[in-house]
Amino acid sequence: MNVSDLRILVVDSNPGSILLWRQVFGILNVKALMVITDGDAAIDQLYLDRYSAVLCSDQIKCSSGETFAHMARRSPGILAPMVPIFLVTGKPRRRDIERARDLGYTDVIALPVSAGTVVRKLQGALGKPRPFIAAGEFFGPDRRSGVRPPFRGSDRRTRSPRKVRVSVPSEA
């Protein structure tokens, strides 16, 4: 995949992060990079243009109170509602990643970031996209990242019992 031919939309209001994204995508020779600092303006841009991928900061809010991914996936008239949307966060915790997945984000990118990480994430999302699911309030990529083959070999979780010495503190 030639990353330099991609059209990338970055939605971030932090000037330091914007500089970082310009440098990362400059290293990758991406020529079509659009940076928008407001969630509502970014949604408006998705009505006008198609992008290969969208990177959205976890600090971005839309005026409607909905998350950026929900608006980008569910708003009628969006040109490409199945575009890969990456949540960019500085402190990813497991519950944040699971919540992002449940909100319809394709993947999470943790800061600090390298050009190699961005390429890997883009190739994973664009090279072999997950099927989209529309069910009730959810519309987004299938939350399961892939089908794992059945485990072959001996059970790794069985252990033989062993004696352990436990010291009990004496009461004073």
Res 132: pLDDT:
74
Domain extent listing, the chain: 3-141
Q: Distance of alpha carbon 32 from its chain centroid, rounded?
A: 20
Tokens of 27: 């290293």
- Give dist(CA 71, CA 69) in Å, integer: 5
Res 161: pLDDT:
63
Q: Is the pLDDT of residue 146 over 70?
A: no
71-74 LR contacts (CB < 8 Å, sep 24+): 71/39, 71/43, 72/42, 72/43, 72/46, 73/104, 73/139, 73/140, 74/139
Res 119: pLDDT:
92
| pTM of the model as a whole | 0.77
| pLDDT digit string, tens, across residues 28-64 | 999 999 999 999 999 999 999 999 999 999 888 888 7
Centre a 10 Å sphere on the Cβ of residue 38 and count the other Cβ atoms it contains: 15
Q: Is the pLDDT of residue 79 over 60?
A: yes
Burial bucket for residue 65 (CB in 10 Å: 0-12, 13-18, 19+): exposed
Close Cβ partners of 78 (under 8 Å, ≥ 6 residues apart): 43, 46, 47, 72
Architecture of domain 3-141: 3-Layer(aba) Sandwich (3.40)
